[in-house]
Structure 1
Amino acid sequence: MYDTQLLSSLLLASICLIPNRTIRLAALAVSLVMAFIHAIYLKYPSTQLAQLEAIIDKTEHVIQDAEAHCRTGSFILAEANLRLLEVKCSASVIRCHILESRTFMWKNYYQLSRDISACAQVISKALITVQLIMEADQQHKYAVDIQATQTALNHYRTHQLGYCA
């Protein structure tokens, strides 16, 4: 993807290089209109839905990975999986509303946008919860490994000191 802030900075810098004031103002107006259209596009329900589906896919993969590798948190993982399924169902309903709407209405746009945002918040919380479970499990594994290594070193030191004395 590209950095929109960098592109807008470069565009504004290049507009300043236009010597003719009228053309410079026209270029600035066109740039502002394009930025507004881009902002509307990012908030368009179908664009938001595509972003939501990307988060859903990521969450699904993280949950599957956690179920395969984590020894703890199975109940919380089941709850996260339930949230995932609920959001998938809601996303499907939203997709149907988008497909059914033949004419564009601002009321529908606003409601769909709110629904998608609510789904994104739910799935983001579930993703963070699963990632925290995975990190806690990893920390537990590290603690067990540290304890085993310390025990082995203490055992080695005890035997080494016993032979030297």
Structure 2
Amino acid sequence: TGSRSVEVYSLREDVADEGGTDVWTRHATGVLSTSPTAHGREFDFAAWPPSGAQKVDLDVGDFYTDLLERGVGYGPAFQGVRAVWRRGEEIFAEVALPEEQRKEAGGFGIHPALLDAALQVGTIGGHADEGVAESGAPVLAFAWNGLVLHAVGASALRVRVAPCGPDALSVEAADEAGGLVVTMDSLV
């Protein structure tokens, strides 16, 4: 069918079972396919900033300091949020790799720090309870559904994040010219 199941494990070097056998921990399961899910493009990224969206007064340094105070620390390569807008429950943002990482972007389908910055947008403005659970613990990505990479090598993105169910967000991101780079049906 062109699809393959995938499981991601890590070896627990500090633990062995009673028989002395290595212990592996499963971290993720999924299905990989060359056939993208049917993703209806709802948003035109070429018109930027989005019509009707209001600029969010966001001090990026304060944003990352607040996250650090909540227990989530991002190093310089992962501090990619540059600007944010809001239209109703939708959040729009510009994210970019720091200059030092931009030359590496072509070596990835999507640079991990750039994808992470796009997902950080979900913690802005009330989504995911601003990134903190009732217990005060940080909220982290749990289930990725319908993730499709449409283009490779981007070093900056225009991002749209919107609620799509209880504790779930849809994510769309395009390059600076409006060309679709990555979509995700839902992120829980």
Quickly name the TM-score band, shorter chain normalised: under 0.3
Which structure is higher in strand share? 2
Which structure is higher in helix share? 1
Q: TM-score w.r.t. structure 1 length?
A: 0.24
**Relative contact order (alpha carbons < 8 A, sep ≥ 6): 1 or 2 greater?**
1
Q: TM-score w.r.t. structure 2 length?
A: 0.21
Q: Tell which structure's C-alpha radius of gyration is larger.
A: 1
